[in-house]
Amino acid sequence: MLRYVLRRLLGALPTLLVIVTVAFFLIRVAPGGPFNLERPLPPQIMENLLAYYQLDQPLWRQYFNYIGGLLTGDLGPSYVYRDFTVDQLLRQGLPVSIQLGGTALLLAIGVGTALGTFAALRQNRAGDVGVMTVAMVGITIPNFVMAPVLTLIFAIWLGWLPAGGWGEGALINKLLPVFTLALPQIAVIARLTRGSMIEVLRADHVRTARANGLPPRVVTLRALRGALLPVVSYLGPAAAALLTGSVVIETIFGIPGIGRYFVQGALNRDYTLVMGTVVTIALFIVVFNLLVDLLYAVLDPKVRYD
């Protein structure tokens, strides 16, 4: 198992290098720069700024300088937030994004799995049709539409919840963004669980368990263990996206996570801030995909990584 983990981590290094390289050059292809303001700076000040941040060097040298800093854990200074480095900004925003995304992920797994199992056990009945209808609505309506609608209903009309802000992590401030972020994932997990559960319930070993007189609850739990494999496959990239913050949700609700930093960095051409966010998300995707592969061995005894 340890050899497999090490091999996967080493194999991820070229992938991370490609991601960093593509992102580095793409952000610089976009027109504009971090110091291009509506009112242009005097030429001498502009030259001093470019020299101070080493942006006056050839692009290939900037790339190798960034890779060298990245290998030592230095993500560089922020060009827009002048008093902060990218490391400091990510340390401030990442815990907030992890709280938001982690809560949404747990909610999506619990509710989505329960709804999918409920629908599978009542296939083609009213309960199944109702769950799948709600799931389809959750998939088709994007976050940037659902978030204002929920804010309008629960914050403005009813006045039950705040319309935005983090409030130092207070529960009441988390409810709207967490539910909005989790809703599409609940819908996807419910559909995946339903389809996989129906297939497993028709398998020979489940029929044998029923024939041997096992209680329906035990049969359902055993079937659910095998039905979760497609859900686990989906959770790898989904968990990485949720835990590193949603760009839309954090922007709409004014949450100080790394998703909002990514938007502001892209708009302001803050190259190092965008790159730091990309590297963080890429690392999360690699780690969670590895955890998903390891979880296969727990759910399916036939899977071995020796």
pLDDT tens per residue, range 46-85 = 788 778 878 888 888 889 998 988 888 888 888 888 778 8
Task: Kindly give, in sequence order, each residue whose CB lies less than 8 Å from that of residue 278, ignoring residues fewer than 6 positions away.
Answer: 19, 20, 23
Domain-located, residue 19: no
121, two tokens: 């056990």
Task: Kindly give, in sequence order, each residue whose CB lies less than 8 Å from that of residue 256, ignoring residues fewer than 6 positions away.
Answer: 92, 93, 96, 166, 250
DSSP bridge partners of 85 = 77
pLDDT mean across residues, the chain: 82
Q: Please report the pLDDT score of residue 301 as a whole number.
A: 62
> Is it the case that residue 304 has pLDDT exceeding 70?
no
User: Taking Cα atoms as reference points, which of 152, 153, 180 lies closest to residue 251?
Assistant: 180
Domain-located, residue 130: yes
CATH number for the domain that contains residue 238: 1.10.3720.10
Positive or negative CA dihedral for 115, 176, 270, 75? negative
3-state secondary structure (DSSP) of residue 220: helix
140 or 303: which leads in pLDDT: 140
Over range 176-192, report the average pLDDT.
89
Domain-located, residue 113: yes
Domain-located, residue 15: no
188 or 237: which leads in pLDDT: 188
Which pLDDT band, with edges at 50, 70 and 90, does 141 fall under? confident
> Is it the case that residue 16 has pLDDT exceeding 70?
yes
pLDDT tens digits for range 268-287: 888 888 888 888 888 888 88
> Is it the case that residue 156 has pLDDT exceeding 70?
yes
Domain-located, residue 218: yes
Domain-located, residue 144: yes
181, two tokens: 């972020």
Q: Please report the pLDDT score of residue 244 as a whole number.
A: 62
Q: Please report the pLDDT score of residue 21 as a whole number.
A: 92
pLDDT tens digits for range 78-110: 888 877 888 888 888 888 888 888 888 899 999
130 or 295: which leads in pLDDT: 130
Q: What is the domain extent for residue 218? A: 87-258
> Is it the case that residue 209 has pLDDT exceeding 70?
yes
> Is it the case that residue 210 has pLDDT exceeding 80?
no
> Is it the case that residue 138 has pLDDT exceeding 60?
yes
Chain mean position to CA 93: 14
Chain mean position to CA 207: 38
Number of domains present in the structure of the chain: 1
- Distance from C-alpha of 146 to C-alpha of 183, rounded to nearest angstrom: 9
Over range 11-27, report the average pLDDT.
87
- Distance from C-alpha of 7 to C-alpha of 14, rounded to nearest angstrom: 12
Q: In the chain, pLDDT over 70 holds for what percent of residues? A: 94
Domain-located, residue 251: yes
Domain-located, residue 22: no
What's the CA angle centered on 86, arms 83 and 92, to 5 degrees? 85
279, two tokens: 């590297």
Which pLDDT band, with edges at 50, 70 and 90, does 206 fall under? confident
Over range 151-172, report the average pLDDT.
84
| 196 and 263 Cβ atoms separated by less than 8 Å | no
Which pLDDT band, with edges at 50, 70 and 90, does 245 fall under? low
156, two tokens: 């403005």
